[in-house]
Amino acid sequence: MRQLLYKLILPITVILFGTVTKWWNVSVVDAPDDVMPGFPLPYVCSGWHTSLSLQIFILELSIDLVIYYLLTWLMIFIVHRFVMTINVAKLFVFVLYGVSAVFLFFFVMIALNPDNIFYWRNPFEFKVMATGIRFILQKF
């Protein structure tokens, strides 16, 4: 199972984190309404101080990453243990790492934006008006 951790679980976690998420249409107290992505917790919202900026919440982001990792580990564990033994070809591992590296590159570029604000926790209260599932490149 340790080999599957490096070959499948970590890159699939990064890819799923970048492609599938939940959106939250929220009404923020003393701020404009916003759409916040994140599963199971919203971890980012628009920056209100300038355009093209974000407010990123580190604790919620960390919890989301752990949940994605555990769900990916659980799916691969169940398939590997009860359905069939997973043998991964080196070419497939190479492609997975390439795709996850592209996602990591974009995550780092977003994080390096000097206009973004990082908070340890979400500092404001909001009311959830609607939720749904969002795939990559799908509008809210």
pLDDT band at 67 (very low <50, low <70, confident <90, very high): very high
Whether residue 112 has pLDDT greater than 90: yes
Beta strands (DSSP E) in the chain are 20-28, 34-37, 44-46, 54-57, 117-119, 126-135
Q: Is 67 helix (H, G, I), strand (E, B) or coil?
A: helix
- Please state, in angstroms and rounded to a whole number, the distance separating the CA atoms of residues 97 and 91: 10
Under DSSP, the state recorded for 7 is I
pLDDT tens digits, 30-59: 888 889 999 999 999 988 888 889 999 999
> Span 81-98, mean pLDDT?
90
> Span 96-123, mean pLDDT?
94
- CA-closest candidate to residue 72, choices 110, 139, 124, 16: 16
Per-residue confidence (pLDDT) for residue 29, from 0 to 100: 83
pTM over 0.95: no
Whether residue 5 has pLDDT greater than 90: no
> Span 9-24, mean pLDDT?
93
Query: Is residue 88 a contact partner of residue 95, using CB atoms and an 8 Å limit?
Result: no
Query: Is residue 46 a contact partner of residue 53, using CB atoms and an 8 Å limit?
Result: yes
Respond yes or no on whether the N-terminal peptide bond of residue 40 is cis (omega within 30° of 0): yes
